[in-house]
């Protein structure tokens, strides 16, 4: 039990892996296609000095840039064949091709996705995070300067995010509260975060929960201190969500309790386990208290239903029907909200189509396996908690006639007609290289030939 905690190379790991989103947050996602290998490498060489490391994780007020590269991107950058083959199969396939494993069917099927997702054209993603609109513009300006003025790298999409009053998500909840604690990151765990999880589960090159590092792409300089990021863009059907609340709650109080029962938290972030009957906004706002609980006194789901979003994403000490080590399925989440804020009075079908939702970034050294596990087992199934076929009420894909069960005395309440409230509109798997790996990628070709080209 006296295993040594490895020291993390914080100056090598990208800031976004360990740095929490600031509050409030303002940012932009930029998606690029590399049309020409040399230009792609040049873009990386110019961009890398502006990409932030996790060494300064505590100064979250400073804006930062993060870079991710897809498998198609590595191909476009001319990464050697043996390196390409060293990536896991799911990463090489890309998220759209993994639709079966992810359960992305029906309305979530990649054939309905927004451009440029799912076409194999998405090569490099750059995300700018900041704490103010002025800083967002400044850091975005820096990013833009690195690709403007030369051809060979095309911008496919630009998506601003954040800036919601109270940092609420598109369905009107405070989110992003419960994150896994990463051992050795230097970040003090918050009460209730659970024991720190081995760094190797989130960053390549360090021992994972099994005691050994996870396999990483080769050569070493490319893989070490890197990680994977699953990018999923959701459109929130706010009208459908509000219609559901109104159909099953007669008063504001009833509707808000139902809304809390779906997530496991009141909109303020206060967990039902600590505030079972009425919202407690002060509790919700306090990061030292709002996650400090387990389910020891709620093993029957009377407070937080077994099927609620929060309990599914982190069952903590819930008794599960399958042999499960819950610490193996944790993932770092960086939710980024886009579009107009939640409107409690939006009720129409047109409201469902207003571009508004969240782009989730899920970060883990085995992100593909974890996301596929979560999608199959904890989001689009209820078997693991003895809830039959029921699915996650917030991010699940609901079939016709779906139900949601709320345990209650003397008999449970079963709510009918739950719909898909968040529709998947795009996604991709990215690798988030270390700063050394970014430099290695930028300098892949013979140096003298590049210098000649630049002259």
Partner 1 sequence: METPRTTQSQTQRARAPKQDQGAQQKIQQMRELFADASAVGKKALENVLKELTTQVSEPPPPIESAGRVGARLGKRSELTIVVPLVPGGAKRLRTFLQLLGGNLSPGATKVGTLHDMRFVFLDNDTRLLFATSFDGDWDTYIDDFIALIPDYLDLMDSAWEGWPGIRNPGAKDYLVKHQITAEGWFVANPELTLAEIDRLKRQGKAVDEFLDKVGG
Instruction: Candidates 191, 355, 386, 399: give the one binding partner 1 (CB under 8 A).
Output: 386
Per-position b or e across 140-169, b if 16+ CB within 10 A of its CB? beebbebbeeeebbbebbebbbbbbeebbb
Provide the CB-side half-sphere exposure for 246 (13 A, CA). 11
Q: Is 84 near partner 1 (CB under 8 A)?
A: no
Q: Does 93 bind partner 1 (CB under 8 A)?
A: no
**Which of 265, 357, 259 lies closest to 310 in space, CA to CA?**
265
Is residue 89 close enough to count as binding partner 1 by CB under 8 A?
no
Backbone φ, ψ for residue 124 (5° rounding):
-130, 135
Cβ(150)–Cβ(41) below 8 Å? no
Q: How far is the CB of 310 from partner 1 (least distance, A)?
A: 21
Shortest reach from residue 216's CB to partner 1, in Å: 12
Options 139-147, 175-183, 317-325, 348-356: segment touching partner 1 (CB under 8 A): 317-325
Judged by CB under 8 A, the residue of 141, 355, 388, 399 near partner 1 is: 388
Phi/psi at 416 (5° precision): -95, 160
Measured from the CB atom, is 141 or 386 closer to partner 1?
386
Q: By CB under 8 A, is residue 383 in contact with partner 1?
A: yes
Distance CA 50, CA 238 (A): 37
From the list 216, 258, 247, 234, the residue with the least C-alpha distance to 364 is: 216
What are the residues facing 26 on neighbouring strands? Answer: 130, 162
Kindly report whether the peptide bond that precedes residue 24 is cis, defined as omega within 30 degrees of 0. Answer: yes
Distance from C-alpha of 384 to C-alpha of 406, rounded to nearest angstrom: 16
Candidate list 131, 175, 280, 352, residue with the active-site label: 175
E-assigned strand segments in 13-109: 26-34, 64-69
Q: Which is nearer to partner 1, 4 or 323 (CB)?
A: 323
Scanning 159-167, 190-198, 335-343, 384-392 for contacts with partner 1 by CB under 8 A, the matching segment is: 384-392
Q: What is the DSSP letter of 446?
A: -
Nearer to partner 1, 49 or 215 (CB): 215
420 to 439: interface string for partner 1, x by CB under 8 A:
--------------------
Member of 111, 322, 447, 455 binding partner 1 (CB under 8 A)? 322
Applying CB under 8 A, what is the total number of residues that bind partner 1? 20
Closest approach of partner 1 to the CB of residue 373, in Å: 6
- Say if CB 277 and CB 256 are below 8 A apart: no
Q: Taking CB under 8 A as the rule, which mask of x and - marks residues 210-239 in contact with partner 1?
A: x-x--x------------------------
CB 355 within 8 A of CB 338: yes
Binding segment for partner 1 among 277-285, 294-302, 332-340, 376-384 (CB under 8 A)? Answer: 376-384
* Binding status of residue 347 toward partner 1 by CB under 8 A: no
Cα separation of 304 and 295, whole Å?
8
DSSP-based helix, strand, coil % in the chain, nearest 5: 30, 20, 50
Which of 107, 168, 248, 373 forms a contact with partner 1 (CB under 8 A)? 373
Instruction: Give the residue with the Cβ less far from partner 1, 210 or 299.
Output: 210
Q: Which residue of 75, 163, 218, 384 would you call a contact of partner 1, by CB under 8 A?
A: 384
Tell which one of 114, 256, 343, 377 touches partner 1 (CB under 8 A).
377
Cα 301–chain centre separation = 26
Q: How far is the CB of 291 from partner 1 (least distance, A)?
A: 24
The interaxial angle of helices 238-248 and 252-263, nearest 10 deg, is: 120
Helix (H) or strand (E) holding 441: helix 435-442
Q: Rule CB under 8 A: is residue 20 a binding residue for partner 1? A: no
Helix (H) or strand (E) holding 138: helix 133-145
Distance CA 210, CA 289 (A): 31
Pick between residue 121 and residue 372 the one whose CB is nearest to partner 1: 372
Nearer to partner 1, 50 or 302 (CB): 302
- Position among 36, 160, 209, 256 found at the interface with partner 1 (CB under 8 A): 209
Work out whether 97 is an interface residue with partner 1 (CB under 8 A).
no
Q: Is 399 in the site for partner 1 (CB under 8 A)?
A: no
Q: Judged by CB, which is closer to partner 1: 299, or 321?
A: 321
CB 91 within 8 A of CB 1: no
Does 348 bind partner 1 (CB under 8 A)? Our answer is: no
Instruction: Examine the residue annotation and report whether 292 is marked as an active-site residue of this protein.
Output: no
Q: Of 20, 75, 218, 324, which one interacts with partner 1 (CB under 8 A)?
A: 324
Sign of the C-alpha dihedral computed for residues 118, 328, 310 and 289 taken in this order: negative
Catalytic residues: 175
Question: Which residues sit at the interface with partner 1, rule CB under 8 A?
Answer: 209-210, 212, 215, 320-325, 328, 369, 372-373, 376-377, 383-384, 386, 388
């Amino acid at each position: 039990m006296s295993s040594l905690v490895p020291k993390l190379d914080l100056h090598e790991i990208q800031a976004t892996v360990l740095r929490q989103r600031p509050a409030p947050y303002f940012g932009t996602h930029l998606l690029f296609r590399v049309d020409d290998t040399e230009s792609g490498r040049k873009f990386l060489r110019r961009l890398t000095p502006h990409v932030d490391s996790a060494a300064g994780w505590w100064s979250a007020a400073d804006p930062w840039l993060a870079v991710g590269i897809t498998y198609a991107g590595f191909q476009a950058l001319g990464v050697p064949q043996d390196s390409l083959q060293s990536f896991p199969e799911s990463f090489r396939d890309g998220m759209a091709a993994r639709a079966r494993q992810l359960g992305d069917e029906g309305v979530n099927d990649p054939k309905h996705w927004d451009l440029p997702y799912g076409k194999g054209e998405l090569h490099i993603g750059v995300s700018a995070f900041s704490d103010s609109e002025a800083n967002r513009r400044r850091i975005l300006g820096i990013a833009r300067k690195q690709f403007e003025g030369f051809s060979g790298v095309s911008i496919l999409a630009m998506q601003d995010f954040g800036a919601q009053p109270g940092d609420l998500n598109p369905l009107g909840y405070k989110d992003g509260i419960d994150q896994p604690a990463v051992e050795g990151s230097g970040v003090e765990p918050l009460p209730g975060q659970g024991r720190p999880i081995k760094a190797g589960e989130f960053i390549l090159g360090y021992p994972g929960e099994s005691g050994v590092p996870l396999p990483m792409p080769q050569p070493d300089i490319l893989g070490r201190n890197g990680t994977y990021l699953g990018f999923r863009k959701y459109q929130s059907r706010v009208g459908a969500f509000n219609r559901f609340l109104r159909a099953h709650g007669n008063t504001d109080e009833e509707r808000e309790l139902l809304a809390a029962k779906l997530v496991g938290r009141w909109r303020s972030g206060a967990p039902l386990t600590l505030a079972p009957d009425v919202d407690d906004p002060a509790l919700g706002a306090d990061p030292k208290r709002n996650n400090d609980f387990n389910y020891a006194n709620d093993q029957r789901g009377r407070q937080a239903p077994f099927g609620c979003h929060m309990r599914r994403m982190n069952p903590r000490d819930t008794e599960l029907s399958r042999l499960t080590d819950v610490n193996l399925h944790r993932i770092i989440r960086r939710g980024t909200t886009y579009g107009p804020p939640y409107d409690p009075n939006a009720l129409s079908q047109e409201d469902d189509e207003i571009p508004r939702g969240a782009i989730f970034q899920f970060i883990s050294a085995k992100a593909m396996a974890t996301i596929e596990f979560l999608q199959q087992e904890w989001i689009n199934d209820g078997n693991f908690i003895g809830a039959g076929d029921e699915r996650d009420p917030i991010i699940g894909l609901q079939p016709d006639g779906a139900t949601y069960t709320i345990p209650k005395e003397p008999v449970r309440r079963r709510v009918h007609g739950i719909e898909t409230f968040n529709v998947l509109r795009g996604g991709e798997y990215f690798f988030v290289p270390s700063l050394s790996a970014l430099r290695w990628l930028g300098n892949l070709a013979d140096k003298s030939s590049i210098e000649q080209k630049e002259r």
